[in-house]
Structure 1
Amino acid sequence: MTDAPVEEVPRAHTLPPEVAARRDAALKLVRRFGDPVLKTKAMTISRFDDELREEIRRMGRLMDDALGVGLAAPQVGISHRVLVYRVVSGGPLGVLVNPEVEWSSREDEWMEEGCLSLPGVHVD
């Protein structure tokens, strides 16, 4: 955690009403900071079946409706090591199952960051 300033950004007011309503409904399904499921190590996936594919499809739809770019299964109350993301709006859905960090750079790149579990909070 850094000492970077935390900024509240009210973004929903610039959305068309139907998009804002869909986003608000989706965000009600996302677990918020402080929820115990977000603090618990998620279970490793061992079965790659239709149930997992459906879970991934639902997560992708929810992420899109919430106007997010990434969503982890624990954020929707599922203790699985699954993450969905979309790099470009309308682009293909990316999926990581049982991800592990194998390498990281010592170089820093500063960008704005947000999280669906902390709606309205954006930091650099």
Structure 2
Amino acid sequence: MELLSHDVPDWTRVLAHRAPGDDAAERLARWTTPRVVADVLADSGRGLLAQVAGETTDRDWVDECGGLLGAVVVLAEVDAAASALRSAVARARAQALAELLLDHSLVELAAALGVSRQALHKSVKGVRGL
């Protein structure tokens, strides 16, 4: 998520990977701001992870997260965002593979992808009745 410096994000925008009605915004708001969480998510948590690991960083991420407990809450949000992305990627990949199977065999696609036929079948199982 890339925000321009004049953008002031709200929790809905920052937590777009969350389902409506999720209590993540309330939990995060006890410790930090939408801007800080947006910044942490924008760099995939690398700066915060580095500081927690004891490395010197350009920014005091832990302080901006409201302390070490706030940093843990924000890192949990990085994990939730990554999980949502992984799920979206898996769905898109399965759909694309199902489309490819209309014109190509499992054996042909498995060889092209460097996976077993069984692994490929498992990936597309349930998509469009496969």
TM range (shorter): under 0.3
Higher RCO, Cα 8 Å, sep 6+: 1
Which of the two has greater strand per residue? Answer: 1
Larger radius of gyration: 2
Which of the two has greater helix per residue? Answer: 2
Give the TM-score normalised by structure 1.
0.24
Give the TM-score normalised by structure 2.
0.24
